[in-house]
Structure 1
Amino acid sequence: MGAGFLVPVTYELSDAVSLDLTPEIDAAVDEDGNGRHLAYSATAGLSVKVSKAFTLTGELQALRDDDPDQHATQGVAALSLAWMANDDLQFDILGAAGLTADTPDARLYAGISRRF
């Protein structure tokens, strides 16, 4: 079992623009299952409220995993669009591109969030 600590921070630059930062540090389980190693990352994003219902967010993320069997450094650039259909329902779409050889080339996600 591993353990981690992350601290999400949001700073509102204006009514329509916010800066998001999330540093993370983990005691990750070694690939062979024996022991722990350091893994850490930082994510920075800029969110722009395009309208009352739509928010556009750009993010950059750097991740480092110091597993003894294979060290890896990943870099990701992402762009997402969120649509608040109503007060309790949100739809999201995100595209991400890998910036290093250790990172998957491209990914596309879609999501639905519902408040109960």
Structure 2
Amino acid sequence: MNIEQIFQSLQKGKISPSRAKKLLSLYSIEKIGNIAQIDTGRRNRKGIPEVIFAERKHLLDLKKIIKKTLSKNNEVLVSRIKQKDYAKILEFSKKNKYKIKKGKNTTALLIYKKILKNRR
């Protein structure tokens, strides 16, 4: 079903709003080569940014994923960053003029482009 068909089915009552939401979410998934799939609409649907699980990713792949995600969204949460990659991701983010929020004693970074508004 394409997007127009989803809207028509919703309008005619053939599908529920929750079913339409699920079907539309499929259109927000983007592949980054053979290394990852990102959900560019996650913030709008779930209220939280896309999360990149970094633990099993190569540094170069991780940088590609971060860059691609931030080309589509304002922020990305990178979790479980390997200790050896943490400083390199910080450096990469600063080099690309991304802003960073980090906690104390954490392996996660919130990387973003514009100042984040208080969201709940």
Q: Do the structures match in fold with TM over 0.5? A: no
Calculate the TM-score normalised by the size of structure 2. 0.31
Richer in helix (by share): 2
Richer in strand (by share): 1
Calculate the TM-score normalised by the size of structure 1. 0.31
